[in-house]
Amino acid sequence: MIPAAFDYLAPTSVEEALAALAEGGEDTKVLGGGQSLLPILRMRLNAPERVVDLRRIDELRGIREEGDHLVIGAMTRYSDIVTSPVVRLHAALLAQAVEEVADPQIRHRGTIGGALVHADPAGDVGAPVLALEADLVIRGPGGEHTVPSNEFFVDLFETAVGEGELLTAVRIPKHTGWVSHYEKFVRVKHQWSIVAVAVALQVEAGTIAAARVGLTNMGSTPLRARAVETALQGRPASDVGDACERAAEGTNPPSDLNGDADYRRHLARVLTRRAVTTALGD
Amino acid sequence: MTRVHVTVDGVQYSDDIEPRMLLVHYLREVVGKVGTVIGCDTSNCGACTVHLDGASVKSCNVLAVQADGHEVTTIEGIAVDGELHPMQQAFHEHHALQCGYCTPGMIMQALDLVRENPTPSEEEIRLGLEGNLCRCTGYQNIVKAVAACASTMETSTTARPERSAAR
Amino acid sequence: MTAVDDHPALEIGKARRRKEDQRLLTGRTRWTDNIQLPGMLHLAMVRSPFAHARITSVDTSVATQAPGVIGVFTGSDLDGQGLIANAWPLNEEQKTPDHLPVAVDHVACAGEIVAVVAARSAAAARDAAELVDVDYEELPAVLDAREALTDAVLVHPELGTNRSAFWQLDSAEAGTGGDVEAAITTARAEGILIEREYRQQRLVPAFMEPRSTVVDPTGEQIVMWTATQIPHILRFLIAATTGISEAKVRVIAPDVGGGFGGKLQTTPEEFATLAVARRTGRPCKYTETRSETMVSCHHGRDQWQTLTLAATKDGTVTGLKVDLLADLGAYVAILGGGVPVLGAWMFNAIYKFPAYQFNCQTVLTNKTWVDAYRGAGRPEATYAIERLMDELAAEVGVDPLVIREKNWITHEEFPFTSVAGMTYDSGNYEAATARARELFGYDELRAEQRRRREGGDTVQLGIGVSTFTEMCGLAPSRILGALNYGAGGWEHASIRMLATGKVEVLSGATPHGQGHETAWSQIVADRLGVAFEDIEVLQGDTQIVSRGLDTYGSRSLVIGGEALVKAADRVIEKARHVAAHLLEASADDLRFSAGQFTVAGTDKGISIGDVANAAWRGHNLFDGAEPSLDSDATFDADTFSFPHGTHLCAMEVDTETGATRMRKYVAVDDIGTIINPLIVEGQEHGGILQGVAQALWEEAEFDDSGTLVTGSFVDYTLPTAADTINFVTDNTVTPATTNTLGTKGVGEAGCIASTPAVVNAVVDALRHLGINDIQMPLTPQRVWKAVQSAGTDPGGPSQEAQPHFAEGALNQDPSAGATDGAAQ
């Protein structure tokens, strides 16, 4: 319950933060909202020598529109995403998923960037970010670069954010007018997702013009369910047929106390169908 | 050691603390606000819920240094001049507590819930309390108390410290 | 002739808001962890990561040098650390391993303490604990109770076996009923035989306040504050096992945040804190983390139940045979094997069974030790019989309520001596059931169930019945003696009449959320006719209340409440003589009612408060009078009390995902006289949800190496407000005849009744698919797999649904279920 001792820095700019990371080396941890990191430190599952807290860096916080994109600062809190009218308008799926993260207290503190970099496959932010085909803006000693979401998640708890780098923002193409739903399956409400499905659909003249499906906890990273997307595309919104039966293709879900891999595959299919149905307003 | 300035229940405190100190330990051990309690080590139970700049947080999941320059309200700061806050009164009236260990966190979260949604349905109350565990009451009377309070307390919570612009 | 006193019920039955609430609502509570003493040291425990190991060496040298560390102590450093005792050996032959608070050379489960660090801050203690270097020689561990029976791997090699004790109750032998084997033989030939094996999974009590202990060894007396249900028993066992004089030990249970049986242990942590405080001469505090609670606080349940119910074709039960295998974990805890044995008198429940046999084998394994958890033995028994009665109903093809009515004791038959030899004093199962049925809308829900079934809905509906009874008021001392328990079961109370008219009430029952301050005030207010507000209740401190046997087994009101009545009556008797002197009347002519002594046929009178004041002054008393009205009483019951009730539950089952959702829950409990309906309702709500949680969500699971994998609230899935619904509760009242107040006890009722109600409902929703059991907790995966296997093999027994059945065990064989070969 008491973390091991560490040095603490709270820089006020990204440059200062990058310098603090460079100086600290590999035993440095970045503190965003802290809602994943602090439990790890308390349980002493990790004992960094230095913690770099991003809370004073104003440029990392906030939601703004940039042409066809929404740009969400990495330190933007869940609760601010959930209540943001522009997110509801242009990336409703993200708000729907973030609303399902943990509980209100956690949502008051936790940040989108923290969750993405933590990269827990059972977390609820990865799947919508994948489904919305967001780009992740990363800054490091060598400057800034952007990684598409399908290249961002590398492995369990591992992302494209390298040592000494910071995720600074999430750029989400506006999905204005798309319908969406995040379907989360848990045994008790405060659990991590056993499986969850993020669905965004563009419906034109009664036909599904485009489909994006992200899966939570169906592998070591959040996944795109591309087979379902392909199967849904071009189908009439009133009859998606058995398109959702392909939801588990290419997945490698874990087996644990909440369910084995077979059960998770089954859930992915059922939940995808339900998410699609709900998104379509049926 | 790091110097922090934190306002707790309206009183300003300045202390030198280790950066690793959790806000809940700061409140309990340094400031003496032992009304805020610890029920778990995974931030599931919500017993340690306080308001940070007017919004509920789990104080086991915040470092004290992260509260530097901010305002904290605990269960000990909501009764005014010995008069129970309407939410405390509602918990009393509806027998919404037994052992009382979850109660401080439950009340602080209930206040946050009605701040964000002054007229919650039963389902919204239940969802709003999803981060707070109680082992005694089966939640039934807690839900009842929050509903009763929400319908009677009108603006009394908005008189409490509001979320600062810093958030 | 003595005038007749009366005690109008002005307070009893009233929904008084609780006196306890003010401090709890405002954060002014005294939890043990709040206590700070000058120079106090903080302790951290070094615990074994292995389920079974020999400790080959403990190197404390680095830790001792760490900043802020005052000392690091191993088991062998702590001479006189005491012992963790088993107070209820089932018989003389019971194998009981020694249980040291801090292990010396052998650990038998993960989480056992192997060293204690004392430092100036909690952070320093935790830091240094990581520097203690323990060498273990890992030993093979036995984790499965059935495997443990083979003795291939021994939990405690020195005992030579893992079998701790065997205990039997046989109705033919006891003369309370017939021969169960004969009943089974007959049923096999010409009736119905239901043979099942049910698993009572392991649970974690999960009270909200982690345990904490502070010991102050300075001064003449050692003072221990601790989060316990049993300060008096703890004081006794400290004295009995450490050699410290009992009179030099004061144990205080300040505000305690829940227990549910989990805090009725005398813990290694308490003894270790005591030992280190004595050793260092400084106040010491130990507060566990939740992860430590999960693995080191005793667990509950963990039984394998093999059951044979014999009946005639029409569903009249002719016999019940119960074989229990009870997993004790690594040690025999304070009640230990007594917990499953408490079920011996409850498997026959509310029914008139002519023959009965109960067998219980307790066994040691390399897991966290097991002891009482809300209900303790009775939920397990109730689960088994209520599941079986539903199975019998299905076999006969009648409604589950009909099969119960056919077999239960009717209200005219009380008092009724059961086949287990217990005399039930009062009850009315018909009334409770009728009321529950009405509140539930039974017929409408049955109609909806039919519609969904016929329509092939994805979401099916099931209705579960649980008609239960329990034995409360643990326990008559003579019975405990006969059962070889190490103490009595009485309770003590004192009433002090203060000079200002206020009344202090002392009770040996120690609360941890039950609302004793409020309920005791109501009882004493009526008995003495004083104002509810004028009563202060003092409790939980062995120095203030020197005698007591604490709180567990729904005993506080039934036993402790009666002690209050007796103490109050003694106060009245003392006061009567003082009042008679003051009123210049004969004591025999005084009538006491509502706090006033009046002289028959006159308008002369005096209040008991004024009599107390007169006694305190002592100026004008009769010759030889004692200037005090204060009185003590210790009450020991002749028998138990028997609350009962009917619980009905409707569950929706999503056959596509296996998810279950509670639709409606009605509980009508008969707990005798109700002192405070608000408190009763609260106990029922909380109890019901704990029982529901066993059915649906909770299980303590270990991996193959003996590590608890549900070791935190992340994985041990407690329900939240968002996972449950409002329960409908009501009461019927048949007062107990075994105590003055007519009370029966309510603390465990909900938890005992609700588990089978929920499982019966889920099974009922799926029975048409050929499913007759699913192992608890009913996880969506288990439910889904049951549905899947039923779909592929319609009508057959569901293997997936019953992974708990041992190879070759009863239900593995489809033909073993019912002799007439009816579908299962």
Contact C717 A191 (CB under 8 A): yes
Q: Which residues of C touch B39 (CB under 8 A)?
A: 208-210, 290
Contact B138 C712 (CB under 8 A): no
The pLDDT value given to residue B163: 38
Q: What is the pLDDT of residues C338-380, one digit of tens each?
A: 999 999 999 999 999 999 999 999 999 999 999 999 999 999 9
How close A253 gets to chain C, by Cα (Å)? 14
Task: Give, in order, the Cα–Cα distances in Å from A247 to each of A180, B62, C665.
Answer: 16, 38, 37
- What gap in Å lies between CA C89 and CA C91, rounded to an integer? 5
DSSP-derived letter for residue C103 is: -
Of all residues in chain C, the one with the smallest CA distance to A195 is C657
The pLDDT value given to residue A282: 59
How close C465 gets to chain A, by Cα (Å)? 24
Residue ranges of A 193-212 with Cβ closer than 8 A to chain C: 194
Phi, psi of C31 (to 5 degrees): -85, 155
Residue ranges of C 58-97 with Cβ closer than 8 A to chain B: none
Q: Which residues of C touch B49 (CB under 8 A)?
A: none
Q: Do the Cβ atoms of A9 and A20 come closer than 8 Å?
A: yes
Same domain, residue pair B113 and B139:
yes
Tell me if B166 is assigned to some domain: no
Tell me if B96 is assigned to some domain: yes
Give kind and range of the element (H or E) at residue A28.
strand A28-31
Best C17, C18, C26, C723 member to test B by mutation, with max B CBs in 10 Å, is C26
Q: What is the pLDDT of residues C565-587, one digit of tens each?
A: 999 999 999 999 999 999 999 99
Q: What is the pLDDT of residues C87-117, one digit of tens each?
A: 999 999 999 999 999 999 999 999 999 999 9
DSSP-derived letter for residue C556 is: I
Q: What is the pLDDT of residues C603-634, one digit of tens each?
A: 999 999 999 999 999 999 999 999 999 999 99
Of all residues in chain B, the one with the smallest CA distance to A3 is B20
Whole-model pTM? 0.96
Nearest by CB to C717, which of A2, A43, A187? Answer: A187
Put simply, whether A45 touches C (Cβ < 8 Å) is no
Contact C208 B99 (CB under 8 A): yes
Q: State the residue range of the domain holding B153.
A: 86-159
- What gap in Å lies between CA C275 and CA C244, rounded to an integer? 11
Q: What percent of chain C has pLDDT over 90?
A: 94
The average pLDDT across C215-231 equals: 97
Domain ranges of chain A: 7-51, 62-173, 179-279
Q: Which amino acid appears at position A131 of this protein?
A: A
The pLDDT value given to residue C245: 97
The average pLDDT across B98-118 equals: 98
Contact C726 B140 (CB under 8 A): yes
The average pLDDT across C729-734 equals: 97
Of all residues in chain A, the one with the smallest CA distance to C288 is A1
ipTM of the complex: 0.97
Q: What is the pLDDT of residues A188-211, one digit of tens each?
A: 999 999 999 999 999 999 999 999
How close A126 gets to chain B, by Cα (Å)? 21
Q: What is the pLDDT of residues C287-318, one digit of tens each?
A: 999 999 999 999 999 999 999 999 999 999 99
Domain boundary among B42, B77, B112: B77
Q: Which of C251, C301, C247, C293 is nearest to C269 (CA)?
A: C293
The average pLDDT across C458-471 equals: 97
Give kind and range of the element (H or E) at residue A109.
helix A104-109
Phi, psi of B122 (to 5 degrees): -60, -40
Q: Which residues of B touch A51 (CB under 8 A)?
A: 19
Lowest mean pLDDT among A56-70, C126-140, C759-773, C803-817: C803-817
The pLDDT value given to residue B161: 44
CATH architecture, range A7-51: 2-Layer Sandwich (3.30)
Q: What is the pLDDT of residues C394-404, one digit of tens each?
A: 999 999 999 99
Contact C709 A267 (CB under 8 A): no
Nearest by CB to A270, which of C122, C657, C696? Answer: C657
CATH architecture, range A179-279: 2-Layer Sandwich (3.30)
Beta bridge partners of C362: C165, C326
Nearest by CB to B137, which of C291, C686, C722? Answer: C686
Q: Which of the four pLDDT bands, split at 50, 70 and 90, describes residue A274?
A: very high
Put simply, whether A47 touches C (Cβ < 8 Å) is no
How close B161 gets to chain C, by Cα (Å)? 18
The pLDDT value given to residue C5: 86
- What gap in Å lies between CA B111 and CA B146, rounded to an integer? 8
Same domain, residue pair B6 and B66:
yes
The average pLDDT across A141-162 equals: 97
Question: Based on the structure, what is the number of domains in chain B?
Answer: 2
- What gap in Å lies between CA C313 and CA C301, rounded to an integer? 33
The pLDDT value given to residue C2: 54
Same domain, residue pair B102 and B130:
yes
Domain ranges of chain C: 21-27+490-635
Q: What is the pLDDT of residues C637-692, one digit of tens each?
A: 999 999 999 999 999 999 999 999 999 999 999 999 999 999 999 999 999 999 99
The number of beta carbons lying within 10 Å of the beta carbon of residue A144 is 13
Q: Which chains touch A (3 or more CB pairs under 8 A)?
A: B, C
pLDDT at position A119 over 70: yes
Q: Which of the four pLDDT bands, split at 50, 70 and 90, describes residue C792?
A: low
Q: Do the Cβ atoms of B115 and B128 come closer than 8 Å?
A: no
Put simply, whether A178 touches C (Cβ < 8 Å) is no
Q: What is the pLDDT of residues C526-558, one digit of tens each?
A: 999 999 999 999 999 999 999 999 999 889 999
Q: What is the pLDDT of residues C255-299, one digit of tens each?
A: 999 999 999 999 999 999 999 999 999 999 999 999 999 999 999
User: Do A62-173 and A179-279 share a fold?
Assistant: no
Contact C701 A257 (CB under 8 A): yes
Q: Which of C576, C567, C485 is nearest to C523 (CA)?
A: C567
Q: What is the pLDDT of residues B9-47, one digit of tens each?
A: 999 999 999 999 999 999 999 999 999 999 999 999 999
pLDDT at position C808 over 50: no
The pLDDT value given to residue C48: 98
Domain boundary among B32, B49, B77: B77
CATH (residue range C21-27+490-635) = 3.30.365.10
The pLDDT value given to residue B154: 53
Q: Report domain A62-173's class.
A: alpha beta
pLDDT at position B88 over 80: yes
Tell me if B165 is assigned to some domain: no
The average pLDDT across C23-33 equals: 97
Give kind and range of the element (H or E) at residue A30.
strand A28-31
Nearest by CB to A190, which of C126, C720, C781? Answer: C720
Nearest by CB to B140, which of C209, C512, C727? Answer: C727
Q: Which residues of A touch C657 (CB under 8 A)?
A: 185, 267, 270-271
CATH, residue B17: 3.10.20.30
The average pLDDT across C481-510 equals: 96
The pLDDT value given to residue A143: 96
CB–CB contacts below 8 A, A to B: 96
**Interface of chain B toward chain A, CB-CB under 8 angstroms:** 2, 18-20, 22, 25, 38, 41-44, 46, 49, 52, 55-58, 60-63, 65-66, 109, 112-113, 116, 127-128, 130-133, 167
Cα dihedral across residues C753, C756, C762, C768: positive or negative: negative
Contact B19 A4 (CB under 8 A): no
Average pLDDT, chain C: 94
The number of beta carbons lying within 10 Å of the beta carbon of residue B135 is 29
Domain boundary among B77, B97, B115: B77
Tell me if B98 is assigned to some domain: yes
The pLDDT value given to residue A85: 98
Nearest by CB to C682, which of B20, B88, B95? Answer: B95
Q: Which of C152, C146, C148 is nearest to C109 (CA)?
A: C148
DSSP-derived letter for residue A256 is: B
pLDDT at position C455 over 60: yes
Same domain, residue pair B65 and B92:
no
Of all residues in chain A, the one with the smallest CA distance to B38 is A1
How close C686 gets to chain B, by Cα (Å)? 4
How close B44 gets to chain A, by Cα (Å)? 7
Beta bridge partners of A200: A180, A212
The pLDDT value given to residue B159: 43
- What gap in Å lies between CA C590 and CA C598, rounded to an integer? 5
DSSP-derived letter for residue B27 is: I
Both tokens assigned to C165? 């004790």
Helix, strand, coil abundance in chain C, percent, nearest 5:
35, 25, 45
Q: What percent of chain C has pLDDT over 70?
A: 96
Q: Which of the four pLDDT bands, split at 50, 70 and 90, describes residue C823?
A: very low
The pLDDT value given to residue C315: 98
- What gap in Å lies between CA B29 and CA C574, rounded to an integer? 50
How close A246 gets to chain B, by Cα (Å)? 32
**Chain-centre distance of CA C235, in angstroms?**
21
